[in-house]
Structure 1
Amino acid sequence: MISSAFWLGKRVFVTGHTGFKGSWLALMLSRLNARATGYALEPPTRPSLFTLANVAEHIDDLRGDVRDLASLRAAMELAAPEIVIHMAAQPLVRESYADPVGTYATNVMGTVNVLEAARNVSSVRLVLVVTTDKCYENRDWVWGYRETDALGGHDPYSNSKACAELVTSAFRDSFFGAKQSVRILSARAGNVIGGGDFAADRILPDALRAFVAGRALKVRNPDAVRPWQHVLEPLTGYLLLIEKAMSAPEARAAEFDGGFNFGPGPNSEQSVERLLTRFISAWGHDAHWERDGADHPHEARLLRLDTAKARETLQWTPLLDFEQTAQWTAQWYRAFVERADMPETTLRQIDRYLGQRVRLTSPFTPDSTKDIEHDERRNVAG
């Protein structure tokens, strides 16, 4: 459970708040009554969740590039945050093949700049660097990767995120080790889905575009297994990690250093084909896919995370199962296609979720605090 009292009035600096995950996080912080400042480039897609959900109304919205240290430091000094959440990234595997230099510049040097800025802003008490499950050296193991497993990455994106983890560790040991009042953490999430993702070369945004156009979705690797989870799940894990780390007594503070995996339960470790089957069922229209026989860059066949550390240290567990994750995502996209009120649609999902996650020790008024039950699953077209 997240304590609403902890987040009330907390000054939070978020990089990458115009992106898919960053937009959801900005809205969550707003609902928790935190005082959030966002620092990012323009939204990376058109349309974007940032624009559709009017995220700028819920956060102090600043434009800037994490590759620009001077601008980043000035923005962070102005915001005087207690907490820094670094999410700005070049997040696409295939784009990293097209632009490896830009990918490394953003994902590696951007992380260097965030940590360098944070160590020169006296108000900062904690920095959370968000990377990815793909930061591990993938050996197609049948068991989940643990936080102590070797970092690696076959493609430039995955490798750059492994580098970002190494940068985070080096800054913690070199500059923050003696300054115990500042915690340096990292979070690694599995494959995240949810409404509002419009990026290219991601399975559900690609499915949306194909289905709306009335054509078959071309699927590169339908047998690939991924740990699918709704975007709200790891974001809640990040917030809980921050809260626990900042609230822990000094004797326990070291338990929260290093990386934390956030992934779904075994039920949600499913193939791409299985995900599409559930999404199409929830979509409720004449949608279909077919195998893409063209040559494509390397992709891992199997990827699982071991989340025992988050479960035992934070008492964090996923709330939504695989079917609910697909259902919530399809509901959001169906509302978008039908030109519904997207700020209301997005906040309704956040409130419904936080209603089960927040310990109400300060003002928080979700639209619905009803339990998320299996009997609520229904065809969104109905």
Structure 2
Amino acid sequence: MVILMMFAGAYQGKRVLVTGHTGFKGSWMTSWLVRMGAEVCGYSDGVPTKPSLFEDACLASLIRHEIGDVRDAERVRQLILDFRPDFVFHLAAQAIVSNSYSDPLHTIGVNVMGTACVLNSLREVTWPCVAVIITSDKAYFNVEWLWGYRENDRLGGKDVYSASKGAAEVIFSSYWYSYFSKTECPVRLATARAGNVIGGGDWAPDRIVADCVRAWKAKQSVQIRSPRATRPWQHVLEPLSGYLQLGARLVADDRFNGESYNFGPKAEQNATVVELLSDLAGIWGFESSDDAYVVTNDIPFHEAGLLKLNIDKAMAELKWMPTLNYEECVDFTGSWYRDVVKNGGSASEITARDIAFYENKAGERGCVWAK
């Protein structure tokens, strides 16, 4: 059943372009937008994994599905001018940290020039349009302090992946001041930063949950590199609700134009990698978590030990707040894989079930966007 009143009905009947729609977050975003009655056009360079949520949920049959490189400036331009979107959610990215070490130029090209191509194409838009440019919590120069990074903290990083995300933010800022800050401009846009997202249907390499499920399906223990590393784990629907709320608020109020917002869990929701794995192992069916994983000393690249975001700005200005606690986040994630991968359930039906449950939880807990 289509829910029309989520986000004040901002997406019902609207044209929404999602770049990176075949990826993990893009597939969940596409599923949710279709559920809300949006006309979705997706643009990606292909399906990034086998298996994939995009294919398993049969999303290509529900949207306009376009294949192309986000660095192809003319192709992106022509698509935007032809589709005439009311909203653009730019998620297309090289999102795997390990790949940035093996192919740094590709990472820089996709994450920096890809973002520039989208922004440059939006310069030609002559109709009211809202764009949300999604980067990452890795955009911040991480010194592993104990408090969360705020939107005005230093950008950049010691590795190529972090630098590419910080650079995308700098490109956004320069384009906004140069072209989109004028009052007569029909385009309103902002950036969104989130990280450590987990949830069903993530099959990317070097992702902790996906690595677990691949190993456990093969009746093997998963190898983990940094068991005591702390992460602010959040379910994929949490930042997506933030992106969607940001888009809806940009339509209603130009005060948010040109701003950046963090989306993350509550401050107390941090947990170590080993705590997450132990909880997921219980949902999968392990009697002892000792059988679920082994610790390896093989750490081929730098990984941050602590990275937190301060979400006060999003809570105060957008009236957004996270919905799920840590236990619910893990249960959501583990149950999807158990029900789909282990028990053979429908990826489309389980994903729709989770979105509906999340919407209901958000409404019960007073989230403004769910009313």
Fold-level similarity (TM above 0.5): yes
Question: Counterpart in 1 of 2:367?
Answer: none
CA contact (8 A) 1:26 1:58 kept: no
- Distance, in Å, in 2 between the alignment partners of 1:160 and 1:143 is 23
Matching residue's letter, 2:48: P
Question: Counterpart in 2 of 1:107?
Answer: 111
Q: Give yes or no for the alignment of 1:240 onto 2:241.
A: no
CA contact (8 A) 2:6 2:36 kept: no
CA contact (8 A) 1:220 1:296 kept: no
Q: Which blocks of at least 5 consecutive residues in structure 1 are unaligned?
A: 360-365, 370-382
Q: Give yes or no for the alignment of 1:205 onto 2:206.
A: no
Distance 1:256 1:75, change over 3 A: closer
Q: Give yes or no for the alignment of 1:220 onto 2:240.
A: no
Instruction: Compare 273-282 and 100-109 and name the one that shifted more.
Output: 273-282
CA contact (8 A) 1:2 1:358 kept: no
Q: TM-score, normalised by structure 1?
A: 0.90
Question: Counterpart in 2 of 1:141?
Answer: 145
- Distance, in Å, in 2 between the alignment partners of 1:120 and 1:357 is 37
CA contact (8 A) 1:84 1:124 kept: no
CA contact (8 A) 2:263 2:314 kept: yes
Deviation at 1:164, TM superposition (A): 0.4
Q: Which blocks of at least 5 consecutive residues in structure 2 are unaligned?
A: 365-369
- Distance, in Å, in 2 between the alignment partners of 1:208 and 1:110 is 31
User: Across the two proteins, how many residue pairs are aligned to each other?
Assistant: 357
- Distance, in Å, in 1 between the alignment partners of 2:61 and 2:237 is 20
Q: Deviations over 1:6-41 (max 9, x none)?
A: 221111111000000000000110111111111112
Within 5 Å, which residues of 2 pair with 1:152-167? Answer: 152-167=156-171
CA contact (8 A) 2:198 2:236 kept: yes
Distance 1:358 1:180, change over 3 A: farther
Deviation at 1:112, TM superposition (A): 0.4
* RMSD of equivalent CA atoms: 1.8
- Distance, in Å, in 1 between the alignment partners of 2:47 and 2:78 is 21
Corresponding residue to 1:315 among 296, 300, 319: 319
Corresponding residue to 2:293 among 277, 289, 296: 289
- Distance, in Å, in 1 between the alignment partners of 2:335 and 2:242 is 23
- Distance, in Å, in 1 between the alignment partners of 2:111 and 2:122 is 17
Corresponding residue to 1:340 among 322, 341, 345: 345
- Distance, in Å, in 2 between the alignment partners of 1:358 and 1:180 is 35
CA contact (8 A) 1:15 1:88 kept: yes
Question: Counterpart in 1 of 2:89?
Answer: 85
Q: Give yes or no for the alignment of 1:116 onto 2:117.
A: no
Question: Counterpart in 1 of 2:354?
Answer: 349
Within 5 Å, which residues of 2 pair with 1:7-156? Answer: 7-156=11-160
Matching residue's letter, 2:168: A
- Distance, in Å, in 2 between the alignment partners of 1:165 and 1:120 is 21
Percent pairwise identity: 43
SS, match of residue 10 in structure 2 = helix
Q: Give yes or no for the alignment of 1:196 onto 2:201.
A: yes
Matching residue's letter, 1:272: V
- Distance, in Å, in 2 between the alignment partners of 1:295 and 1:71 is 39
Deviation at 1:124, TM superposition (A): 4.9
